A and B are shown apart, each in its own frame.
Chain A
Amino acid sequence: MFPHGGPPPKWNAFRSGLGYKVEERPGNRTSNPNAFATAYSQQSCRGLVNSAPRQEPASDWSLINRMVAKDETALATLYDRYAGLVCATLNRILRDASATEEILQDIFFQIWRTASSFDPSRGSLPGWLIVAARNRAISKLRKNNPVTREVVESDVVIGATLDTDIARKQMMQKVQGALGGLPVEQRKAVELAYFEGLTHSEIAERTGDPLGTVKTRLRSAVESLKKKLQA
């Protein structure tokens, strides 16, 4: 059981880093079709790609197994692998370095304490980390807001294996391409929902657009993202 009272996180089978071979596909070479993608891609990819000698990385699952055996170096490796991603999510939502560090610490400490409860057949570690970070950040953001939101950390399935730097870089390019391909209004609505945790009516209130328009925009946006991210 987790300290916040939610069910234990579960993740999908990591198709282990052992023998994993990344294939270069045309879809992964996104050419930043508009300003949104360009803005993201102009940021540094520090943490995703390093210049260290190429070495087969341990899979997320093997690291978790080592953590069950109380191997601190496994936690350190996992932290190096995903702390940048978690930090980016927290920073974008909270815009508060102190709050970001607090939640970052809590999430990785929680992984350490509850490593034995992870079920690799029902979710993916990076997926759970992101959902946990986003939920906690939005919850913190809305601490004084009377609107209560569900903050449940449960099954999160990401089909791709993200154990390697190159796999994460490819995922970054794919998502940037998918988001960058959305019309500006749709992308803005997605950002308000994802990074600020706003609902349909809250987005309508914030943007001044009719509720129906907001719903249509978001429906179109998630359909478009679904198709591109599943491709």
Chain B
Amino acid sequence: MSAHPQYDEFFDLYALGVIEGVECDEFRAHLATCDDCARKLAEARGRMAELSFAMAPVEPPAGAKEKLLRRVREETKQAGASVPQVERSIGRSWWALVLAPVTLALVIATVYLWNSNNRLAEQIRGEHAQMQSLQHELEEANELMNLETAHDTVSAKLMPMKPEEHDHGQVLYNPRMGMAFYTGTLPPPPRNMTYQLWLVPMTGNPISAGTFGEEIGPGYHMMMKMPPGIEAKAFAVTMESAGGVPQPQGPKMLVGPVS
């Protein structure tokens, strides 16, 4: 589809040279600003030029070729005479002597700058990632500080179900803020299993506060967001299938009442 269909009929007629007057002026003005139409005109010029092929070639005037070649030789000779060969040779070698080391220096400088640029870009990327990590930690620390210092925050000390086990944990919970902070010593769960933290409300079924496990390590802690306004009676950690479950099904790992 042509971008300027109003000119579709113009190209070949313009190339043929029959368009005149205002139409010609307008079309010419448009061509100066439209690459697409300029390209179409080039094709139209080609089509019109092909009309010359309708005629059989005509033998050029006798001696015309020789005259042309003589003219070319004279022109070449004059061009050569204006700059003596020896001088040109010296000129070329002098320039080569100067330009070679300059070019080499430029290449070395370019490579050095390119490498420096790459190193700096890598450093910036690393520092940006570190900054984001620090920002995240800062936000978490702020949230924890708010949670710890709020007058209505409660805590639950989580203990193992079996006395011989030594893992333990702690939950800080603020029902107004809807935030729970867990920290504990549970080891990483088995493959395809996960830990799930449950809020046991005053009435009704336990409510999931979230899953954790894959990232467990020394000093592990986790901030979880929950719907606000739920009074907690206790907290518990169960082991569930990866992805978690709507209601606790697996074994209780840690349990503790809110104090």
Mostly helix, strand, loop or mixed at chain A's interface?
helix
Instruction: Looking at the assembled complex, report how far the CB atom of A60 sits from the nearest CB atom of chain B, in whole angstroms.
Output: 14
Contact, CB under 8 Å: B47 / A225 = yes
CA distance A88 to B12 in the complex (A): 22
B163, CB-defined interface residue at 8 Å: no
A166, CB-defined interface residue at 8 Å: no
CB-nearest residue of chain A relative to B45? A156
If A88-B52, A101-B64 touch, whether A199 touches B17 (CB-CB below 8 Å) is yes
Per-position 1/0 for A169-212, Cβ under 8 A of B: 00110111001000000000010011001111101000000000
Contact, CB under 8 Å: A193 / B59 = no
Per-position 1/0 for B21-34, Cβ under 8 A of A: 00000001000000
Residues 122 to 143 of chain B near chain A (Cβ within 8 Å): none
Q: Return chain B residues, CB-CB under 8 Å to A124.
A: 46
Contact, CB under 8 Å: A109 / B72 = yes
Instruction: Looking at the assembled complex, report how far the CB atom of B48 sits from the nearest CB atom of chain A, in whole angstroms.
Output: 7
Contact, CB under 8 Å: A201 / B20 = yes
Per-position 1/0 for A1-43, Cβ under 8 A of B: 0000000000010000000000000000000000000001001
Residues 67 to 90 of chain A near chain B (Cβ within 8 Å): 70, 72, 75-76, 79-80, 83-85, 87-89
B38, CB-defined interface residue at 8 Å: yes
Instruction: Looking at the assembled complex, report how far the CB atom of B70 sits from the nearest CB atom of chain A, in whole angstroms.
Output: 10
Contact, CB under 8 Å: B49 / A113 = no
Contact, CB under 8 Å: B69 / A75 = yes
The bracket for how many chain A residues form the interface is 35 or more
A58, CB-defined interface residue at 8 Å: no
Interface size on B (CB < 8 Å)? 41
Contact, CB under 8 Å: A40 / B60 = no
Q: Return chain B residues, CB-CB under 8 Å to A87.
A: 57-61
Residues 58 to 77 of chain B near chain A (Cβ within 8 Å): 58-61, 64-65, 67-69, 71-73, 75-76
Contact, CB under 8 Å: A79 / B56 = no
| Shortest beta-carbon contacts, A-B, top 3 | A84-B57, A43-B56, A155-B42
CB-nearest residue of chain B relative to A159? B46
CB-nearest residue of chain B relative to A98? B61
Contact, CB under 8 Å: A130 / B42 = no
